[in-house]
Each structure stands twice: as C-alpha cells, then as structure tokens.
Amino acid sequence: MRAVRHAVIVATAVFAGWLVVADGGHGAPRAEAENAVPAGTPATVLTKDKAQAILGKPVTSTKGEAMGRIVDVIVDKAGTTRAAIIDFGGFLGVGSRQIAVDWAALHFSPAGQPERITLDLTRDQLKSAPQYEKGKPVVVLGASGNTQPLAEGEYPLDH
C-alpha cells in the first residue's frame, strides 16, 4: 500500500507540473513562437467578436423566417466572393434544395445582433429558384437586381 501511495503522489506531482508548464491553449502567438515559425511571417489574431466562421450557420430573412444554412461559398477568379450556397427547406432532411444567393444580399451581424446572418430575400423568392449544381453555371439570386454577371467566358472557380 505504501508503494501505491508513493506512486499516486508522484503521478499527481507530475500532472500538476504539466498543468503549470503547458499552456491552456490561450495565446496562439506564444505557442507559435515556441514552434519555430520562420521569422517574419505576419499573422493576425481575430477574436470571436470580430469574426466568425460561416459554414453551417443558419440564415434568416429580414422578417425572421428561417432560410436554411450556408453550405458553400462561390468565389470568382479575381477572388471576390460572389455567392453563398444555402441549403433551403425540407423536413428531417427530406426535400431540401441548394440555392445560390448573391453575397451582397447577405448581411453578417446586423446592428445589435452578433452571430446572426440575414438575407434580403423572402422564402417565396427562394422557393422556386433553380438548384445549385457543381460544374454547371450558377444561378445567383440577387436581392436588388444589381448582380454583376461575370465577363464573357468566365465561370466561378470549380472545386
């Protein structure tokens, strides 16, 4: 029993020491400094209140109707985001359709509502839009009618 007690004390001491030495995960730049990043690589830290990931996030209309979730982003050859693909409609996964909407029609974190994504379109406008299909020309639904077509012969970047 004494041997067991010694072992437990040693293990606890090692564990506590590890906790003190190891970083809890905060401060990525500090960890990067320890990992020998080549000197001179610029990096920026974006905190949660300044930026968010958008894949899978729900989208609502300005009236509050549920519009679906963002599943993909369409970017043109110049690197400008042109459209977001939204998985729209359905019940328990049956009957949902993927529809491309103009990036300009999306508003991220509108005033006073962080983490919310709104779309300047209604469900009625979205419901009969042609489905998005990879490899085919993307039909982008625009809110204001000001969507800019790509130059002749250009297509959005394919996967």
Partner 1 sequence: MHVYENLGSDVRHPPVPAPVSASVHAPSRRSLRGLDGFNFFIANIQTGFGPFIAVYLTAQAWTQVDIGFVLTLSGIVALAAQVPAGILVDTAKHKRTLAAISAAAIALSALMLAAWPILPFVLGAEILHGLASCLMGPAIAAISLGLVASHEIGERLGRNARYASAGNGIAAILMGACGRLFSNRAVFVLTALLAIPALIALFRIRSQEIDPVRARGGQPGGSERHSPLHGIADNRPLLVFGAGLILFSLANTPMLPLVGGIMTMRSSHWATVLIAACIVVPQIFVAILSPWVGRRSETWGRRPLLILGFAVLPIRGVLFALFASPYLLVVVQILDGISAAVLGVMLPLVVADVTRGTGRYNAALGTVGTAAAVGASVSTTLAGYVNDRLGSTVAFLSLAGVALLGVGLLLLFMPETRPAER
Binding site for partner 1 (CB under 8 A): 53, 55-58, 69, 71-72, 87-98, 122-124, 126-128, 131, 133, 159
- Give least dist CB 68 to partner 1, A: 9
Of 2 and 48, nearer to partner 1 (C-beta) is 48
Distance between CA atoms of 67 and 117, rounded to whole angstroms? 10
- Give least dist CB 58 to partner 1, A: 8
Distance between CA atoms of 86 and 140, rounded to whole angstroms? 11
Task: Give me the amino acid identity at 129.
Answer: A
Of 152 and 158, nearer to partner 1 (C-beta) is 158
DSSP H stretches of helix in the chain: 2-21, 28-34, 123-127
- Give least dist CB 125 to partner 1, A: 9
Say which residue the tokens 């002749």 belong to: 152
Distance between CA atoms of 69 and 82, rounded to whole angstroms? 17
Task: Give me the amino acid identity at 44.
Answer: T
- Give least dist CB 97 to partner 1, A: 6
Of 38 and 95, nearer to partner 1 (C-beta) is 95
Of 121 and 140, nearer to partner 1 (C-beta) is 121
Task: Give me the amino acid identity at 132.
Answer: Y
